[in-house]
Amino acid sequence: MMPVREGDTRHVLITGASSGIGEALARVFARHGFNLALNARRAERLSALKTELEASYDVRVLSLPGDLANPETPEMIHSTLRQADIHIDGLVNNAGYNSRGAIPDTPWQAKRDQLQLMAIAPYALTQLFLPAMRERNYGRILNVASVVGLLPGGVSNALYSGVKGMQVAFSEALHIDELTHGIHVTALCPGLTTSEFHDVDGSRSELRYVPKFLWHSSESVAEAGYKALSRNKIICVPGLFYKTAIAAARVTPRRLANSIAAHAARKGR
């Protein structure tokens, strides 16, 4: 008789699941027996991932293509799952991207879409699925933030840094709110990660000289996030270097930290 896996009979919704950390998290949850509902814009990639995971891990996978920059998408996802009689036990808010550039140099539409995707959609999905988690006294919510949400902002990065900081604060508050309801809440805060992320935001060429030890694989980040969520850690920062950087930032006066960040930004121009 096969042992019961942690996720057997449970379903996890993962956004931004077609590549990078989201795709890696889908594999990790599937390996632990969770059935999956996967969301991303690229339907063909979701379909291929669905086929792979169902064949490799004996789990059920539902593809939910849709753009979370559209305000109607969270409700569409919730409605589709409700009609399919699928109860979501875990939520991974991973979808995101960085539209770099100073505020005066970027169109409002791009920033509005980014806010909708990375700030409003995660909150909307949490509000839609959290009540049922409370009723069952079981839930897992992983918000994929970033180390930049724990550090002073960088050049031409005001919105991304601000949103990631909000995701961390939201996770911390939600973690405390749900302690008595059997619901784990974790903010995953990775540093530089090998994925398509830096190709999308155009920073790949700027980062080519960054030492290899500062880069983590999507798979290692996903593993760290899953373990932290299982243990109900509030914040997970993968990698010793980034843990040390965050610890140093926390004991450095904010004014000094901002001055250091501003100097580094000027040198990088």
Cα four-point dihedral sign 249, 229, 231, 177: positive
- Backbone φ, ψ for residue 145 (5° rounding): -100, -130
User: For 103, what's the count of Cα atoms within 13 Å in the CB-facing half-sphere?
Assistant: 5
Residue of 160, 209, 226, 242 with catalytic role: 160
Active site residue 57: no
Q: How far apart are CA 18 and CA 16, in angstroms?
A: 6
Contact 17, 25 (CB under 8 A): yes
Q: Provide the greatest CA pair distance for the chain.
A: 62
**In terms of residues, how long is the chain?**
269
CA angle, 198 then 161 then 69, to 5°: 70
What the block records as the tokens of 234 is 């509030």
Centre a 10 Å sphere on the Cβ of residue 32 and count the other Cβ atoms it contains.
17
Task: Report, as residue numbers or ranges, the catalytic residues.
Answer: 160
